[in-house]
Amino acid sequence: MAGKVISSGFHYTTLPESYVRPVNDRPNLSHVSECDNVPVIDIGGEDRHRISQQIGDACRHYGFFQVINHSVPVELVKKMEQVGREFFQLPVEEKMKLYSEDPTKTMRLSTSFNVQKEQVHNWRDYLRLHCYPLEKYSPEWPSNPSNFKEYVGDYCTVVRELGMRILEFISESLGLEKERINMILGEQGQHMAINHYPVCPEPELTYGLPGHTDPNALTILLQDSLVSGLQVQKDGKWVAVKPCPNAFVINIGDQLEAISNGEYKSVWHRAVVNSDQPRMSIASFLCPCNDSILSAPKELIKDGSRRVFRDYTYTDYYKKFWSRNLDQQHCLEFFKN
């Protein structure tokens, strides 16, 4: 199945062999409970100190949280979802013009995670786009559906602003100046993955994406408002994160764990699939500038503590990340002091 998208219109009645996980590496869906206390943070209020405190608590204890009153217009979110669905409903011949297995490409349709390296594939197709600077990358984006570039461009712009605001809150929550983390990260790159998880004949045997942490700094996830599938690891157990209306899920990535000197945890999360309906999620990633030196600021190294991670650049990190399987040892381990 490698090299072939699963959103091909073909109706599977059993799971193809190359997607079946070994028995000890299956989602065990019956053992997953719903996470009732996912932090939902209203970031539209006036009290900055309170918001950054709530965000700090969430980063420390969960590694993720949801934000509401985030100023991203509901209409724009609907347009983004609509155009994402329309793209994956295109005829397979049309979509395959954009297919590539090369992770260095700045725009590509692909499937699974890293089809050239992995032993077992994941039940996911995705369109991956670079989004910043917009004028550099949007010309290569799909022109079918016809309003794709316009809707996605508008969405990318406001989501970037949201991400920058959240990074300011995170910076303040660590007791730093609000711009400090954005300065360490430099001129941040921005990518997007529009994930499509088709109906799966045997969801208990496979994943949409297995457990992993994100290699970037911050992930802003738009969950499917109707179909849940996101699960995160909390206290060693997998829990399901139910979609919250008009909210974004914010994920701490590996780079924020390093910059916070290990105080904030990059959360293990995964996507599961279901046999009833397809699911879509739209992940926006903010990534450090390739040559920024990633290092915990000296203000966080106090009381005789030391830096948990050595200095490195995002280029070093990303190379390591793509040279391995998604669910292998945590990539940050290679950068520990």
For the chain, give the longest Cα–Cα distance: 61
Q: Which residues are within 8 A (CB) of 219 and not within 5 positions of it... i.e. 6 or more apart?
A: 249, 250, 251, 253, 283, 284, 285, 286
Eight-state DSSP code of residue 205: G
113 Cβ contact list (under 8 Å, min separation 6):
122, 124, 209, 325, 326
pLDDT per residue over 57-104, tens digit each? 999 999 999 999 999 999 999 999 999 999 999 999 999 999 998 888
pLDDT (tens place) for every residue of the chain, 337 residues total: 334 899 988 889 999 999 999 999 999 999 999 987 889 999 999 999 999 999 999 999 999 999 999 999 999 999 999 999 999 999 999 999 999 988 889 999 999 877 777 889 999 999 999 999 999 999 999 999 999 999 999 999 999 999 999 999 999 999 999 999 999 999 999 999 999 999 999 999 999 999 999 999 999 999 998 899 999 999 899 999 998 999 999 999 999 999 999 999 999 999 999 999 999 999 999 999 999 999 999 999 987 789 999 999 999 998 888 776 655 668 899 999 9
Per-domain boundaries in the chain: 24-335
Q: Distance (Å, rounded) from C-alpha 335 to C-alpha 332?
A: 5
pTM for this structure? 0.94
CA distance 76 to 122: 30
CATH superfamily of domain region 24-335:
B-lactam Antibiotic, Isopenicillin N Synthase; Chain (2.60.120.330)
**Segment 115-125, tens digit of pLDDT:** 777 889 999 99
